[in-house]
Structure 1
């Protein structure tokens, strides 16, 4: 009789994720948890049921660019996939942007919102990208824009009616530089009663959006980032024709292939300043706080989906007389991945909670200082975790994990963008260290770690507490000794990842103690123990500037310049 391997089958994304349910039960008042749990249960069943089935059916579809109509008119329309069309309807109906602004749970509304995102995104083919940018755009407009722009755009960005809902792009990257937006070449020129944008945006995600926030330099402004302004742009005129925007081509990318990412030429696109005619990079900071928090939550959602698939497979797959889950080495491998996921989850959702307090105007000065450090740390830490974890998940399936129609290669390719989007690991490491240099920030971060550790009383959690305390002390000493020179910059990634993992472990120890206190079993304490043993202090990995120059350049010339 022939043998056929059964594919992994997923249960509900809500009922099969005890960590998500535990965290919300701990973070939300009982009446708030009871209010949102039915919707989360509904969405969790949808994510791993009908929406996942549509994603599998739609696996080979990709967006397409139609530049001309049948009569020779330039239309530049982008058609999206069936999953994206369904995701747009679901996102509006369940308020994946709206929840944060309706604020039914007050400062805790971000937890409700991002729990929905956590459940749905792995089946939405990166539709979280336009949603995150729409959320960020709504936040920036509410904080900075004149009433006319707020009234025009924000009700559409936060609409629950799919026919009325808009999404937003975020146009920063140009050929002259990625993260270095000071080299932006797009020019804004005053034309009668309007501003017109002229230039090229080399990398625009979610180009099918109805609007975008774009950086441009008003004509006559000085070079550098201070001379840039943030502009509001609608992608089409009232008659449906392109608003001085030509889509040159869609990018052929490693992953996120369902997401239309394009090169654009702006040829007199009508635009409106969001907040004056200078300091556009500062104006876009509220957008980045939001999108980086989404990025961290999406990273955790991909880890969660990957591990759910790996566990389901391990229960079915037999080899050498037993299931994979009964094999000690395989179980040990999955255990290490789960510890990473749990730590990353708590770090991402702590950033979300801080963002929610800031949204609601309830953040203290210490909260705001912590937020400016915690968001880049959460994004960069989870970005590195998700690639490593999902890569191991693919390997856990053996050859089947390398086959496209299992869906696993797509999960890994899509995960790979998460350390890149919204600032690479190195860019965010430097940003986190700059945030830590602000008055009160080191104290706020240390206080947060110690607050989380303060309740971890169980003897089993003592190694985790000691690992956090030691890593926090060493990182502070390195920061103090290095100052702000070249050696400090060379250490920035190691310091940032150490601090990110330290905070993640502290939050995991706090959660583990709560689980013990409430009779929720020993899984979370085991995750804290495992994550502590995996190591949070990465500071010993460096070797100085000369060694770096020698190895990075592949020869002696660069190292000689360091002597």
Structure 2
């Protein structure tokens, strides 16, 4: 008798996500939640059916660069995949960017917006990449106050009309590398028409966007980040021709292959300074707030999609006389992954909540300090979690997980970038230390964690509280002792930052578990908190041996 494996299937990604529904019930006022449920359910259905099936059919349609037309004209046209074209129209119609700026629900508008994206983006082949930068550009223009650019660009970046909606690029990376943008070599020269940019951008992720924000060094400015300026660039002129931009090639990447990532040469691209002719890196701060938050929530929705596929497959796949979902070892493996996912979700959406308060000017002084720290912590912590979970899920499918035409390897490959984009784990760890340098930040973080833990009363959750408290005290002691030794501080920054991130995750998960028990949402999150507390929350080492490290590096 022939035997064929049954592929995993997805249902409505809102109806099937009890954890998301619990979070929304706890976070949103009841009337707001009820008013949004149909919208969430609609996107959940599109995500689990239409767009998921479209994604599988569209798997081989990657971006194509045509540099020359048949008559020898340089055109540098990029054709994106059919799914991406439909995703752009969906973005406008459903307000996947606009919702945050319409602010119908005040600070909670960010929760509304990111829930929409959390539901549908796993089926849109990383279309979230240009949307993160579009959102970041819109917020940057608003925060920097250039009225002419706000009036011109913001209505397009936040439009609900597919015919007028724009996306934005964020062109920072040059041949000198990604993180040390102070080494930027692009030069800005004054011309009769305005400022023009000359240089090469080595890695641009939204090359098909209508505009971009980028860094350049105005002629005569000194070296380093202080001498850079933030510029606004429209990619094409009124005639539709590229604005002093040449697309050299598309990148051949491990993952995110639907994203048209390119190398660009700027050869006199007409540009407008966004906020003066210096302090370009400082002026990018709000953009990073937004794009790092997108990155963290992207990790959450990627973990959720991986788990949904693995769980459905486990109910279908029979091995050694029983379904995988009945095998104790397989059940134990998936349970550990679920605990990590729930913790990562809550941390990423805590960053979302704080961003909403920052933008609506409703944050307390303590919350402002907390937001500056939690954003890099959420990005770096979830970035590591999603790589682990998607790797384990690939393995849970056996050989099928390693075969490209199942679509499963893309889940893992696309997730790998989330620990790299917007700053690697190490870079974000150092950024977390910089955030802590501001007086009161560590105290604000401790107050946040302790406040969450104080709400936990269930006896079975008390061990989770103890684990979190112990990790918190260890972190306080370690950073206090390391402050006088910059080498030790830097060497331990990664473990310290991951400890802070995972400690806050455990506190958030324990609090949510307590709420779930008290409000009829069951013991599932309690089980997740208890398991997560045993996964390694305190990662700090007091015995870092740098001599050994140098020998081994």
Bin the TM-score by the shorter chain.
Answer: over 0.9
Q: Structure 1, residues 334-393: CA drift from partner, whole Å, max 9, x if none?
A: 000000000000000000000000111111111110001000000000000000000000
Q: Is the counterpart of residue 452 in structure 1 residue 452 in structure 2?
A: yes
Aligned to 2:369: 369
Return closer, same or farther for 1:422/1:444 CA change in 2, 3 Å cut-off. same
Aligned to 1:506: 507
Q: Is the counterpart of residue 528 in structure 1 residue 538 in structure 2?
A: no
Distance 1:273 1:544 in 2: 47
Distance 1:542 1:182 in 2: 34
Aligned to 1:225: 225
Return closer, same or farther for 1:485/1:541 CA change in 2, 3 Å cut-off. closer
Q: Is the counterpart of residue 103 in structure 1 residue 94 in structure 2?
A: no
Aligned to 1:274: 274
Of residues 40-49 and 7-16 in structure 1, the stretch that sits farther from structure 2 once superposed is 7-16
Aligned to 2:398: 398
Asked whether the 8 Å contact 1:64–1:80 carries over to 2, the reply is yes
Asked whether the 8 Å contact 2:492–2:541 carries over to 1, the reply is no
Aligned to 2:198: 198
Asked whether the 8 Å contact 1:304–1:341 carries over to 2, the reply is yes
Asked whether the 8 Å contact 1:487–1:544 carries over to 2, the reply is no
User: How far is the alpha carbon of 1:140 from its aligned partner?
Assistant: 0.3
3-state DSSP of counterpart to 1:190? strand
Aligned to 1:69: 69
3-state DSSP of counterpart to 1:540? coil
Aligned to 1:381: 381
Asked whether the 8 Å contact 2:195–2:272 carries over to 1, the reply is yes
Distance 2:131 2:480 in 1: 40
Of residues 7-16 and 535-544 in structure 1, the stretch that sits farther from structure 2 once superposed is 535-544
3-state DSSP of counterpart to 1:278? coil
Asked whether the 8 Å contact 1:8–1:313 carries over to 2, the reply is yes
Asked whether the 8 Å contact 1:92–1:159 carries over to 2, the reply is yes
Aligned to 1:9: 9
3-state DSSP of counterpart to 1:373? helix
Aligned to 1:556: none
Q: Is the counterpart of residue 34 in structure 1 residue 34 in structure 2?
A: yes
3-state DSSP of counterpart to 2:492? helix
Aligned to 1:135: 135
Aligned to 1:181: 181
3-state DSSP of counterpart to 2:409? helix
Distance 1:178 1:146 in 2: 27
Asked whether the 8 Å contact 1:99–1:112 carries over to 2, the reply is yes
Aligned to 2:443: 443
Q: Is the counterpart of residue 239 in structure 1 residue 248 in structure 2?
A: no
Distance 1:503 1:462 in 2: 16
Q: Structure 1, residues 118-156: CA drift from partner, whole Å, max 9, x if none?
A: 111110000000000000000000111421100111100
Asked whether the 8 Å contact 2:492–2:544 carries over to 1, the reply is no
Distance 1:96 1:519 in 2: 31
Q: Structure 1, residues 391-427: CA drift from partner, whole Å, max 9, x if none?
A: 0000000011111111110111000000000000000
Moved over 3 A (4+): none
Of residues 418-427 and 534-543 in structure 1, the stretch that sits farther from structure 2 once superposed is 534-543
Aligned to 1:115: 115
Distance 2:541 2:284 in 1: 35
User: How far is the alpha carbon of 1:326 from its aligned partner?
Assistant: 0.4
Distance 1:324 1:448 in 2: 40
TM, length-normalised to structure 2: 0.99
Distance 2:105 2:174 in 1: 39
Q: Is the counterpart of residue 283 in structure 1 residue 283 in structure 2?
A: yes
Asked whether the 8 Å contact 1:98–1:160 carries over to 2, the reply is yes
Distance 1:452 1:157 in 2: 37
Please tell me the root mean square deviation across aligned C-alpha atoms, in Å. Answer: 0.8
Asked whether the 8 Å contact 1:401–1:409 carries over to 2, the reply is yes
Aligned to 1:481: 481
Aligned to 1:216: 216
User: How far is the alpha carbon of 1:451 from its aligned partner?
Assistant: 1.1
Distance 2:45 2:259 in 1: 24
Q: Give the gaps of 5 or more residues in structure 1.
A: 553-563
3-state DSSP of counterpart to 1:380? helix
Q: Structure 1, residues 464-486: CA drift from partner, whole Å, max 9, x if none?
A: 10111000110111101011511
3-state DSSP of counterpart to 1:276? coil
Distance 1:345 1:178 in 2: 27
Q: Structure 1, residues 434-491: CA drift from partner, whole Å, max 9, x if none?
A: 1012111011000000111111110111111011100011011110101151110000
Distance 1:542 1:550 in 2: 16
Count residues in correspondence: 552
Asked whether the 8 Å contact 2:478–2:542 carries over to 1, the reply is no
User: How far is the alpha carbon of 1:542 from its aligned partner?
Assistant: 6.0
User: How far is the alpha carbon of 1:541 from its aligned partner?
Assistant: 8.2
3-state DSSP of counterpart to 1:159? coil
Asked whether the 8 Å contact 1:435–1:441 carries over to 2, the reply is yes
Asked whether the 8 Å contact 2:225–2:281 carries over to 1, the reply is yes
Alignment of 1:305-454 (within 5 A): 305-454=305-454
User: How far is the alpha carbon of 1:70 from its aligned partner?
Assistant: 2.0
User: How far is the alpha carbon of 1:540 from its aligned partner?
Assistant: 2.7
Aligned to 1:22: 22
Distance 1:131 1:402 in 2: 29
Distance 1:99 1:76 in 2: 33
Distance 2:465 2:360 in 1: 32
Asked whether the 8 Å contact 1:171–1:213 carries over to 2, the reply is yes
Q: Structure 1, residues 68-96: CA drift from partner, whole Å, max 9, x if none?
A: 12222111111100110111011111101
3-state DSSP of counterpart to 2:278? coil
Q: Structure 1, residues 246-303: CA drift from partner, whole Å, max 9, x if none?
A: 0000000000000000000000000000011000000011000000000000111111
Q: Give the gaps of 5 or more residues in structure 2.
A: none
Distance 1:152 1:500 in 2: 39
3-state DSSP of counterpart to 2:185? coil
Aligned to 2:546: 545
